Amino acid sequence: MMNKKIKIGIFGFGKTGRLVTNEFLQDRNFDVVWVARRTLKDHYKFASHLLGYEYERGAIYSIADIDESFFKNHFVDIIVDFSSAKGVYSYQAAAGEGIKIISAISKYNPEDIQLLESLKNDTAVLYSPNITLGVNFLLIASQILQKIAPHADIEIVEEHFRDKKETSGTALKIANILGLEKDRHVNSIRVGGIVGKHEIIFGLPNQTIRLIHESFNRAAFGQGAIFAANWLIQKKKGLFTMENIIIDMFQKNIPVC
């Protein structure tokens, strides 16, 4: 019996997009059909060649190529979007062809989010600005620990590269979900080229518990997208997040007494 590969289309071929494409190219479960980038650069070349492979996969298109018939003529099972907030405007047409969508975009406007949510009746959509496994594990584990140790003081430390101006969206989300005032309890470290580190510190009178996640290469986002794609392929419709997946896996995997 043939094990059919999952066909993937990727939005975005910048620094992160290239790394994500590379992860999908290296995974045998997936077939990268095309990559759509903002500019016309490298038009009709292959992402695989640009990443140093000999074979031809991931034909490069431009966003300008994406018209109504694009998704019919270039069908994929799942679109993975690491481009920009603008990608959302192509989702409707893709959903119309039954294509599922994974979005890792962090800077959507409220209207974009609304558009994204409206697709949940047409196809399966997974939306997570931070798509790494580790960060989502921290998000769920910290909520449980807060319930187990309600008197613990909690602080969040996030470390990123010097030029990241805004506070980590992930850190803000963790603060929000734990009911912590972000101005007081999120501590941002900006030094050198740190890719991304999040630490949640639980302090009790005589002990501390620390949950730490560190990405040292943006390829971690590609791994997260692969994890999400393997899960989403089995869903027909609905709006999901990485948290949903991890909550689901917590429920199934709590050890038996």
Instruction: List residues near a second copy by CB under 8 A.
Output: 132-134, 137-138, 140-141, 143-145, 147-149, 152-155, 157, 159, 162, 177, 187-195, 201-220, 223, 243-244, 246-257
Nearer to a second copy among residue 85 and residue 145 (C-beta): 145
Q: Which residue, 139, 131, 132, is CA-closest to 156? A: 139
Dihedral over Cα of 59, 62, 66, 69: its sign:
negative
CA-CA distances (angstroms) from residue 12 to 36, 57, 83, 87, 105?
A: 6, 15, 4, 9, 11
| Shortest distance, position 165 Cβ to a second copy, whole Å | 13
Nearer to a second copy among residue 1 and residue 257 (C-beta): 257
| Shortest distance, position 217 Cβ to a second copy, whole Å | 4
Our separate counts of H helices and E strands in the chain read 10, 11
Residue found by looking up tokens 């980038």 in the block: 37
Nearer to a second copy among residue 118 and residue 143 (C-beta): 143
| Shortest distance, position 68 Cβ to a second copy, whole Å | 34
Query: Rounded to whole angstroms, how far apart are CA atoms 74 and 84?
Result: 21
Nearer to a second copy among residue 68 and residue 163 (C-beta): 163
DSSP 3-state of 149: coil
Nearer to a second copy among residue 33 and residue 201 (C-beta): 201
Residue 115: partners with Cβ closer than 8 Å, 6 or more residues away: 88, 89, 91, 92
| Shortest distance, position 208 Cβ to a second copy, whole Å | 5
Q: Which residue, 1, 2, 5, 3, is CA-closest to 229? A: 5
| Shortest distance, position 188 Cβ to a second copy, whole Å | 8
Nearer to a second copy among residue 85 and residue 195 (C-beta): 195
| Shortest distance, position 126 Cβ to a second copy, whole Å | 13
